[in-house]
Structure 1
Amino acid sequence: MTDLAATTLATGTLPGLPSRHWIDGGWHDAASGRTMESFDPGSGKAFASFARGDAADVQAAVDAALAAMTGRWRGITPSERGRILMRTAELIRANAEFYAVVECLDCGKPVGEARVDVASAARAFEYYAGACDKMHGLTIPLGHDYLAYSVNEPVGVTAHVIPWNYPISTTARGVAPALAAGCTVVAKPAEQTPLTALLLAETLKQAGLPDGVYNVVTGTGAEVGAPLVSHPGIAHVAFTGSVATGCSVMQAAARNVTSVTLELGGKSPAVVMADCDIETAAADILAAIYENAGQICSAAARVVIERAAQAEFLDRFVAGVRTLSLGHGLRNPRVGPVNSPNQLERISDFVEGARANGTEIVTGGSRTSDPDTGLGWFFEPTVLNNVKMSDRVAQNEIFGPVLCVQPFDDIEEAVAIANSTNFALVAGVYTSDFGTAHRLARDIDAGQVFINEYFAGGIEIPFGGNRHSGIGREKGLEGMRNYLRVKSVAARTSPRRTH
C-alpha cells in the first residue's frame, strides 16, 4: 500500500487501470470510439480515461448477457456458482490493496475507508456464495391425489446502475446476489467512478465465471444508463441514486414491465436520549456523518437530541470535529474530498442558504482544499445548530459533511422530528433504556434502525428505505429474492374417477 500510494501521489496516476468496456468476456472500445476522463477529487486533476459508451454498446452487452442465460451459465449447478463466488471473494482479498488505491483515487475517500469497502465487497461475494444452493422452493399440500411445488428461477438479465460514493461495495451487494441466483448482469458504474466495476470483471473471469455473465458498459447516465434501464431484454433493474433519477428509471422500466429495486437516499436521524452515554454517542455520530465526507445515503445527517443533553453533546462533538484531519485520500486523513465540483457547489449552496437564514453554524461552513497542496474539492466538517423541521437543510439530502442538530423535549416530539422529512432510509437511537429504544424503533419510519451503534450489522442485514428513500431491499437473503421468480407446479398424481 505504501508503494502504491507513493507512486500514485508522485505521478498522479496508477499503471494497470482498465479503460474499455467489458463485454462477453473481453475488453472492447466504445462503438463510437469516444472516451472520457476520470478525475482525482483530491487534486481535481484527470488521472485516467475510459470508454464513453452509448446505446450500441448497451445492446452488445445485453445481447451477450441474454446469450449467456441460455448458454453454459444455465447448466452450472448452484453449488458450482457458489464456488465461483467464493473464489471471487478470495481474489478480491488477494488484490485488496490495489483495489483500495484505485477506489481512493477514483472517488476520493481516505484509503482506510476504501480498504473497508473492498473488504465489504469480498464479504458480499462470500455471503452469497453460501446462499446459492439454499434458496429452495416449497411443497404445497393439496391432498392425496396431487403433487404441488414451487421452484425458484433466475429472473434473467439484470441491470445494475451503480453510484459514485461506494462503487465497489455497491457493485458487489447487487451483482453477487444476482449471480448467486443464476442471473446475468450488465453493470453501468457512475461516470465519475468506473474503475473498480471494471477491475471486478477480470477478477470474476479469473474465478471461473463464464463469458457474457458479467458485462460493464461505462459512460454517462443519459447515453448508457437510460438505454440500459429501458431495454426490453432487462428483467430487473437495481438502481442507487437520486430520487429524481430513480423516478425516471422506474418509469422507463415500467414500459417493459421490468421490476426495480431503488435505493434513493435519505436524511437520516440519530435520536439521542439524555440517558445515553453522550461521549460514546458523539464519537459514533462523528464517524456516521463525516465518513466519506458525508457522501453516504444512510449518513447520520440529523442529530435529534433531548434538549437536556444538547449542550454536552455539542461540546464533545465539536471538540471531535476539530481533531479531524483533511487531505488527499491516499494520505489517509480522517476526512477526504467530495467527489466533484458539482457536489462541492451543492453542499456550499445549502450551507450558504442556512447562513443567510440565520442558522447557527457552530463549526465549519466553508469550502477548503488539501492543506498539503492547495488542490482538490473539499468542504469543512460542519455543524448547524437548532435547525427547524421546515428548514431547507433539514428537509433535503445535502450529501456532504454537514450535520443538523434538532433538539426535542419529549419522546413524541422526537418521533415527529425524526419522521418529518420525505425520506425513511435508516435511523439511529442512543439510550440506556431498551424499552425506549424499541419504542423508538417501532415508531420511527425507516427501513433499518441502529440502536447504540450507527451502521451496526453488515451484508447479512436487509437494507433499503421507505417513502422517497426507495423500493425493495438489498443485502441479506431478502436481497437475493430480487433476482428470483417463483414458478408453481401442480399435478394430479392419480386418475380421475368416473361414475
Structure 2
Amino acid sequence: MGKARTMNCEHFIAGRSVVEPNASYVDNRAPATGEVIGRVALGGVEIVDTAAQSASSAFAAWRDMRPMERGRILVDIGRMIRANALRLAEMEALDTGKLLEQAAGEIETSAQYFEYYGGLANIFYGDVINIGAPYHSYTRREPFGVVATILPWNAPLNQAARAVAPALAVGNTVVAKPSEETPSTLVEVARLAVEQCGLPPGVLNVVLGTGREVGEPLVAHPRVRKVMFTGSVRAGREIGRVAAERIIPLTLELGGKSPNIVFDDADFDAAVTGVVRAFTVNAGQVCIAGSRLLLQSSIRDEFLRRLVPAVEALKYGDQDGAVFGAITTVAQFERVQAFHELAISEGAVRLTGGAAGAEAGRGLFAAPTVYSGVTPDMRIAREEAFAPILTVLTFEEEHQAVAMANDSEFGLGAGVWTRDLSRALRMAAALEAGQVFVNEYMAGGIETPFGGYKNSGYGREKGIEALTHYTQLKCVTIRI
C-alpha cells in the first residue's frame, strides 16, 4: 500500500472543504500498525448547521432536475469510484485495518450502488388508482428534503453508498456523518463527485466529528426531515428519542446475533466453509455475522471435528495468506478481550483461538475463536461481540431450532443448512429475521432488500425497496 499518508481530513460542505476557525482534530491511527496516518476534524453544532443549510438550499434544484439527469450523475459517480478504486481501497485499508483485497471488493460494491440507483432514478414513480367515475386518483413518490445519514466504521464507503445513492436518486439532498475513525473515503468521493461528475454543490455534504458533538445535533436539526442510522442499539435508541420528539422518520440498521443452523442432512463441506466465513469475514465486524452456530445434536461431534481444524487453518492479521485483517478501533479491540473473559467466566469451553495477543509492534488483531458448552441464557450467546467469535449450541428437533434461533432481542439475519427444500421453506417462514440465507450465508447482493426485525432495527436498505424509505407518498384525487 506504500507509505502511509499524514494529512488532515476536513468537512466537505457546499462543494468545498471547510476548515473551521480554531478547529480541533483527533489523530487517525492505522489499526493494523498503530501508525498515525492523518488527523480528522472534529465539528460541532455550527458545522452541522452550515451543512444542513447547504443541503436545504440545494434541495429544490436537485429535486426538480429530470430524474434521468440525476441518474446520469449517479452512474458517473459509480464510474469515478471504479476509476479511482485502487487509491480508495488503499485509503480504506489504512483507515479500517482491512486487507487490501477486501477493501477493494467493498469499493467495487460502492460503485455498483451508485450505478444501480442511477439506473432506477427515472423508473420509480406512483400509481393510478381506479376508484371509478368521475374521479382520477393517483399517487406521487416525493423526496423528504434533507436526509441525514449517520454511518459506522466497519465498512465506511460501502455503508455510505448504500444510504446516499438511493437518497439522492429520488431527489433528496444529504448530510452524511461518517465515523470519526474512518472518514477518508467518503470525503474524497464527495469531492470527486462535485469536481468530476457534475454533482451540484450542497447536494452531498460530509460533516466530521463524534456522535455526541455532531450526530445528535444533526438528528435534531430542523432542516433534517429523514434520518438513516447504522450502528449500535444504544445509539439507535437515543436517535429514536430525538426523532420521535421531532416526528421524523428513521431507517435504523442496528446490531445482530444471527443464528446459523445446521441440520443433519446438510452438505457438511459447504456448511463448514459457510459457517467459518459467516463469523470471520471482516474480523467478525459485520452486523449480520453468523455468530451463533446451532447444530443438530446428532451431528455435533462430527461437525466440530471438521470445523475446528478449518478455523485453526485460517491466517489473519499480518500473516501471509491472511483472510481478514485488524479490529478497527481500540475501543472495539478492548471489548473483544472483555468478551473472551466473559465467555470463560460463564463456563464456555474454548475449542480454538482465544484472546488476541498484545505483541509488541503488532496491530489490533483478534484470533478466530470457537466456544462450545454454551447455553442460550449465557451472555455470550445473546450479546453481539462484533468479533471473530463463534458460540456453539445444540438442538434436537426442528421446532427447537426455531425457538432457540428466535430467542434473541435481535433479528437481522439467519442461516439454514439443509438438503430438504420443504424444511428450508418452513424455516424461512418461521425465523424472525429480516433476511434468511439457505445453504450460503450472506447470499444476495445490492438488489436484495436488507434490514432487521426486533432490536436489529426497521426500514430497509438495498434493492428497489430502499427507494420507498427515502420518499413520502402523496395521493391526489381529482373530480373530473
Aligned to 1:97: 86
Aligned to 1:497: none
CA RMSD in angstroms comes to 1.4
Aligned to 2:166: 177
Q: Secondary structure at the match of 1:255?
A: helix
For the residues of structure 2 that align with 1:382 and 1:374, how far apart are their CA atoms? 22
- Counterpart residue identity of residue 86, structure 2: E
For the residues of structure 1 that align with 2:330 and 2:5, how far apart are their CA atoms? 22
Aligned to 2:377: 390
Match of 1:306 among 296, 317, 321: 296
For the residues of structure 2 that align with 1:76 and 1:66, how far apart are their CA atoms? 15
Match of 1:14 among 5, 23, 30: 5
Task: Give, in angstroms, the shift of residue 302 of structure 1.
Answer: 0.7
Per-residue Cα deviation, 1:118-154 (whole angstroms, up to 9, x for no partner) = 1111111111111101111111223232222111111
Q: Does 1:459 align with 2:446?
A: yes
Q: Does 1:334 align with 2:318?
A: no
Q: Does 1:23 align with 2:13?
A: yes
Aligned to 2:309: 319
Q: Secondary structure at the match of 2:129?
A: coil
Q: Is the 8 A contact 1:386 1:407 kept in 2?
A: no
Q: Is the 8 A contact 1:32 1:53 kept in 2?
A: no
Aligned to 1:496: none
Task: Give, in angstroms, the shift of residue 374 of structure 1.
Answer: 3.2
Per-residue Cα deviation, 1:273-300 (whole angstroms, up to 9, x for no partner) = 1111111111111111111110110001
Q: Secondary structure at the match of 2:58?
A: helix
Match of 1:83 among 72, 89, 93: 72
- Counterpart residue identity of residue 417, structure 1: M
For the residues of structure 2 that align with 1:85 and 1:332, how far apart are their CA atoms? 36
Q: Secondary structure at the match of 2:116?
A: helix
Q: Does 1:109 align with 2:98?
A: yes
Per-residue Cα deviation, 1:226-264 (whole angstroms, up to 9, x for no partner) = 100111111110000110100000111122211100011
Aligned to 1:140: 129
Runs of 4+, deviation exceeding 3 Å: none
Q: TM-score, normalised by structure 2?
A: 0.97
Task: Give, in angstroms, the shift of residue 75 of structure 1.
Answer: 3.0
Task: Give, in angstroms, the shift of residue 328 of structure 1.
Answer: 3.9
Instruction: State which drifts further: 140-149 or 475-484.
Output: 140-149
For the residues of structure 1 that align with 2:358 and 2:171, how far apart are their CA atoms? 46
Q: Secondary structure at the match of 2:265?
A: coil
For the residues of structure 2 that align with 1:181 and 1:38, how far apart are their CA atoms? 34
Per-residue Cα deviation, 1:95-133 (whole angstroms, up to 9, x for no partner) = 111111111110111111111111111111111111101
Q: Secondary structure at the match of 2:246?
A: coil
Q: Secondary structure at the match of 1:460?
A: coil
Q: Does 1:356 align with 2:335?
A: no
Q: Does 1:228 align with 2:218?
A: yes
Aligned to 1:237: 227
Q: Does 1:200 align with 2:177?
A: no
For the residues of structure 1 that align with 2:366 and 2:292, how far apart are their CA atoms? 18
Match of 2:418 among 428, 431, 443: 431
- Counterpart residue identity of residue 286, structure 1: V
Q: Is the 8 A contact 1:31 1:56 kept in 2?
A: no
Q: Secondary structure at the match of 2:132?
A: coil
For the residues of structure 1 that align with 2:134 and 2:424, how far apart are their CA atoms? 52
Q: Is the 8 A contact 2:312 2:353 kept in 1?
A: no
For the residues of structure 2 that align with 1:177 and 1:18, how far apart are their CA atoms? 29
For the residues of structure 1 that align with 2:20 and 2:93, how far apart are their CA atoms? 25
Aligned to 2:236: 246
For the residues of structure 2 that align with 1:356 and 1:491, how far apart are their CA atoms? 68
Per-residue Cα deviation, 1:209-235 (whole angstroms, up to 9, x for no partner) = 100000000011111001001111111
Aligned to 2:209: 219
Task: Give, in angstroms, the shift of residue 18 of structure 1.
Answer: 6.1
Aligned to 1:53: 43
- Counterpart residue identity of residue 68, structure 2: S
- Counterpart residue identity of residue 363, structure 1: T
Q: Is the 8 A contact 2:63 2:143 kept in 1?
A: no
Q: Does 1:292 align with 2:282?
A: yes
Identity %: 42
Closer/same/farther in 2, CA of residues 422 and 31 from structure 1, 3 Å limit:
farther
Q: Secondary structure at the match of 1:153?
A: strand
Q: Secondary structure at the match of 1:428?
A: strand
Q: Does 1:131 align with 2:111?
A: no
Q: Is the 8 A contact 2:8 2:41 kept in 1?
A: no
Q: Secondary structure at the match of 2:56?
A: helix
Task: Give, in angstroms, the shift of residue 32 of structure 1.
Answer: 4.2
Task: Give, in angstroms, the shift of residue 180 of structure 1.
Answer: 0.4
Q: TM-score, normalised by structure 1?
A: 0.94
Per-residue Cα deviation, 1:30-87 (whole angstroms, up to 9, x for no partner) = 35411112111101232111211111000000000000012x3233100011111111
Task: Give, in angstroms, the shift of residue 204 of structure 1.
Answer: 1.6
Q: Is the 8 A contact 1:65 1:213 kept in 2?
A: yes
- Counterpart residue identity of residue 487, structure 1: K
Per-residue Cα deviation, 1:181-229 (whole angstroms, up to 9, x for no partner) = 1000000001111111111102321211100000000011111001001
Task: Give, in angstroms, the shift of residue 336 of structure 1.
Answer: 1.2
Unaligned segments of structure 1, at least 5 residues: 494-499
Q: Does 1:121 align with 2:110?
A: yes
Q: Is the 8 A contact 2:40 2:180 kept in 1?
A: no
Match of 1:167 among 141, 156, 169: 156
Unaligned segments of structure 2, at least 5 residues: none
Closer/same/farther in 2, CA of residues 487 and 340 from structure 1, 3 Å limit:
same
For the residues of structure 2 that align with 1:238 and 1:491, how far apart are their CA atoms? 34
- Counterpart residue identity of residue 31, structure 2: P
